[in-house]
Amino acid sequence: MSKNAYLPYYKTAEGAYVRSMEQYREMHKKSIELPAQFWSEIAVQFHWETPYDVDNFCSYNFDVTRGPVKVKWMEGATTNVCYNLLDKNVRNGMGDKVAFYWEGNDPEDYSKITYKKLLEEVCRFANVLKSKGIVKGDRVAIYMPMTLEIVITMLACARIGAVHSIVFAGFSSDSLAERMADCKCKVLVTADSVYRGDKLLNIKSLCDIAMDKAKNFGHEIPTCIVVRHLPRLYRSMNTTNGTNGSDSDTIDLHSDVPWTDGRDCWWHDEMDDVEPACYPVWVSAEDPLFMLYTSGSTGKPKGVLHTTGGYLIYAATTFKYVFDYHPGDVYWCTADIGWITGHSYVVYGPLANGASSVIFEGTPFYPDNGRYWSIIEKYKVSQFYTAPTAIRALMKFGEEPVKKYNLDTLKVLGSVGEPINPEAWLWYYKHIGKERCSIADTFWQTETGGHVITPLPGCTPMKPGSATFPFFGVNPILLDESGKEIKGVGEGYLVFNKPWPGMMRTLFGNHERYQSVYFSKFPGYYCTGDGARRDEDGYLWVTGRVDDMLNVSGHLMSTAEVESVLTEHPDVSEAAVVSRPHSIKGECLYCFVTPNNGIPFTPKLSSELVKKVRETIGPFAMPDVIQHAPGLPKTRSGKIMRRVLRKVAVNDRDVGDISTLADEHIVEELFNNRPEKT
C-alpha cells in the first residue's frame, strides 16, 4: 500500500459492519461468484408476499448480439416497497421512531415525523391518488420542493403500484413539459411556492406553464394536486399542529396562486376526509417502482426505469454498508430528492433500514455560510452526505463558520456526483471530519440505482480522489478502445460485465435506446460512459465522462442539449459547447456561437443566449461564457473538433495536431476572439 492512503477511523473503533479489507474481499468474492446466495441472504430480511426462488434468483443478458438485453432479479416474487419501508418498521416496534427531521429554509421552520405518522399520511395520500383514478402502472409526475409531502407522495405511489416520475424543481417549464408528456402522467403533484434562501420561487405558476406546454406535445394532465407550502411557518405559529392544517390562517398568501378549477386541487382539502389506512398492492419484483430522467448525449432526456425488488435490496444494502448506519445514528444527505441521490439515499435506502434522517429544504448559504454545520450540530448528525461542489463552495469561507459548531457526532462523510479533487477531499477530511471520520467517495449514476464503486467506512484505506473499490455484486472492468480488457495498472472505459440488483432495467418506452446507449459499444458489457484508471494498489480513479456529457455542480447534461437551445435562437447559425474546469462547479459551460450571416455578435445577443439556456433547461445549466466564433474548427468530414475548443476555453495554445481541419486558420481566430484576455 502506498504511503498516501488514509486509514479509516473505524479501524480501531469496533462496530463497523465490515472491519477489514480481508472481510470485504471475502464478501465481494461471494457476491460475484454466488450472487443468488449472497443477495437472498439479504432479501430474507424483507417481506415477500410471494417468496422468491433462490434457484431462479437472477437472469440476464448483457450481450446485444445474442438477443435483447434483459436484467431480472427475483422474478415471480411479489412485494411492496412501501410496506417494507413503513409497515414492517412499525410492526417491529419502531412506530415512534423519527423517520425524518424536516428543517425548513428558515431556521425557525422545522418539524419531524415518526414512522407511524408517516405510514398514516402515506396511506391517506394513497387513497387520494386512488380517488383520482390512479391505478397500478400509472405514472405520477412530481415537481416539488424538499418537503415531507414529496416523500409521502413517492411512498403513496409505491403503495398502490403507481410509478413516480420526479422532475427536480429547478428544471424549467419546458423541461417539465417534455418529461410529463414523455411519461404520460395522469397526475402532477406540486406545491404553491417555496423560498430558497431569500428568493421566492413560484412553483405552481411554472407548473401551469408546463401543463400548457405539455398539450403541445399532445398530452393533457387531468389532475394537479397542490401542497400549500408557503405559509407553513405562519400556520405553525398559530396552530398546535403545524403540518397540513387546513384552517386557522390569519394571513392569506394564496390569493395569487394561479388556479384551474376542475383540474387543480389543494392537498390539504383532499387529505381532509380520507381513511388513514390503505392496503398495499402487491406487485411483482420486476414491476416498475419509479422512473427518473437523466440527460442523454443526443439531447432528449432518457427515462431511466427502476423496478421493485432489486432496487429495494440494493438501496437498503448500499445505505447500510456505505454509511455504516447503525440504529441510533442520525443521517443527513443534502441532495435534492429530485435527483437519484435523493431517491436512493434520502428516501428508499434510509427508510429500508429504519433510519432517522434529516431533510433540508434550504441552501448552505442561508441565513449564513454556517448553515450546514449548524444543522449537523442541531440534529447530532453522524453520517453526512454531500457533493464536491458544495464542499468547494463552503471551503471558500475558511474554517471560521465551521468552528462555531460542534461536529463531534460525525462518523462518516460522503461525497457524490463528480470526482472530488484532493484539495476539497482534504479540507472535508480535516476541517469537517477532524481527521477521525471516514470519507466515502461514492461513484454511481442515475442508471446504477445505487453506489457501485465506493470505500466502506471502517474498512477501506482511503486515497483522496479515488472511489476505491466495487460494492458487493459489482464487477468493474477497464476496456481499451478495441474492447480488450486492461488488467492491472492502466486507464480505459469503465464497464461492468454483470448486473447488480439495483441497476436500471430499461429506458421508459424505448428499450432500443437503452441497448444502443449502454450496451452496444462493447457487446457483453454495461458501459458507464466514464473513464477510469486503476493504480498499482488496485484502486479505481474515475477520470470523468468519455462522451459529450458535462458535469456542472454534479448535474449531468449533454453538450447537444445546450447546443440545440442556442441554435434555436433566430440569430444563431451554429453553436458548440465544451466544458471548462471551474473552481467551484467542477466544470462550467463554455459556448462558441456563430451568428447568422450579416448578424453582428453583440453583448445583447450574448445575454439573450445565456437567458435562453437558463430558461429552457434550468438555472444550473447557465453558461459561464458565450464566445463569438466566426467559424467552428471542423474536420473535412464536418465533425467539430471539440478538443481544440476545450483548449481555446482554457487559453492553452498547445492544441496538438490540427492538420485534419478543413480550415486551420479558424483556430488562431478563436484564440484572438476570447472574451477574457487571460
> Which residues in 430-554 belong to E strands, given as ranges?
438-442, 476-479, 490-496, 506-507, 526-534, 540-545, 549-552
Burial degree of 365 (CB within 10 A; 0-12, 13-18, 19+): middle
The least CB distance from residue 504 to ligand WT7, in Å, is 10
Q: Which amino acid is at 75?
A: E
Closest approach of Cβ 425 to ligand WT7, in Å?
A: 11
Does position 446 interact with ligand WT7 (CB under 6 A)? The reply is yes
Specify burial of residue 364 (Cβ count, 10 A radius: 0-12, 13-18, 19+).
buried
User: Considering only residues 66-95, where is the footprint of ligand WT7 by CB under 6 A?
Assistant: none
Min CB(4)–ligand WT7 separation in Å: 18
Q: Which of 149, 418, 548, 561 binds ligand WT7 (CB under 6 A)?
A: 418
Q: Does 556 bind ligand WT7 (CB under 6 A)?
A: yes
Other residues' Cβ atoms within 10 Å of the Cβ of residue 464: 18
Q: How far is the CB of 293 from ligand WT7 (least distance, A)?
A: 10
> Which three cell numbers, joined as nine digits, stand for 376?
449537523
Report which of 307, 296, 337 is spatially closest to residue 163, judged by C-alpha positions.
Answer: 307
Considering only 78, 308, 357, 442, the residue that binds ligand WT7 (CB under 6 A) is 442
Cα 336-180-309 angle, rounded to 5 deg: 60
Task: With CB under 6 A as the rule, give the number of residues binding ligand WT7.
Answer: 23
Question: In the structure, how many helices (H) and strands (E) does the chain have?
Answer: 23, 30
Q: Is 158 a binder of ligand WT7 (CB under 6 A)? A: no
Using CB under 6 A as the binding rule, whether residue 170 contacts ligand WT7 is answered as no
Shortest spacing between CB 388 and ligand WT7, in angstroms: 8
Task: Detail the DSSP E strand segments found in 567-642.
Answer: 572-582, 586-595, 625-628
443 binds ligand WT7 (CB under 6 A): yes
Nearer to ligand WT7, 195 or 518 (CB): 518
Q: Which residue's entry shows cell 410471494? A: 50
Report, in Å, the least distance between residue 121 CB and ligand WT7. 27
In the list 190, 294, 353, 356, the residue contacting ligand WT7 (rule: CB under 6 A) is 294
Binding pattern to ligand WT7, positions 315-354, x when CB under 6 A? ------------------------xxx-------------
Closest to ligand WT7 by CB, 86 vs 504, is 504
In single-letter form, the type of residue at position 596 comes to N
Judge whether 636 and 629 are in contact, CB under 8 Å.
no
Give yes or no for a contact between 322 and 414, defined as CB atoms under 8 angstroms apart: yes
Record the cell numbers describing residue 659, joined without a space.
492538420
CA 288 to each of CA 137, 151, 282, 283, 307: distance values in angstroms, whole numbers, following the listed order: 7, 18, 12, 9, 4
Shortest Å distance, C-beta 503 to ligand WT7 = 12
Q: In the set 118, 155, 467, 613, which binds ligand WT7 (CB under 6 A)?
A: 467
558 binds ligand WT7 (CB under 6 A): no
Least gap, CB of 314 to ligand WT7 (angstroms): 13
In the complex with ligand WT7, which residue's Cβ is closer, 89 or 357? 357
551 binds ligand WT7 (CB under 6 A): yes
Residue nearest to ligand WT7 (CB): 446
Shortest CB 129 distance to ligand WT7, Å: 28
From residue 523 to residue 542, the character string flagging contacts with ligand WT7 as x (rule: CB under 6 A) and all else as - is: -----xxx-----------x
Q: In whole angstroms, how close is the CB of 444 to ligand WT7 at the nearest point?
A: 4
Burial 240-272 (b: 16+ CB within 10 A, else e): eebbbbeeeeeeeebeebeeeeeebbbbbebbe
Asked if 441 interacts with ligand WT7 (CB under 6 A), we say yes
**Residue 499 touching ligand WT7 (CB under 6 A):** no
Minimum distance from residue 647 beta carbon to ligand WT7 (Å): 22
C-alpha cell at 398: 475558511
Binding test (CB under 6 A) with ligand WT7, winner from 167, 206, 416, 517: 416
Q: Does 444 bind ligand WT7 (CB under 6 A)?
A: yes
User: How many C-beta atoms surround the C-beta of residue 641 within 10 A?
Assistant: 22
Alpha helices, DSSP H, located in 290-329: 309-322
Please say which residue, 183 or 340, places its beta carbon nearer to ligand WT7: 340
* Whether 461 contacts 329, CB under 8 Å: no
- List residues binding ligand WT7 (CB under 6 A): 294, 339-341, 416-419, 441-446, 467, 528-530, 542, 545, 551, 554, 556
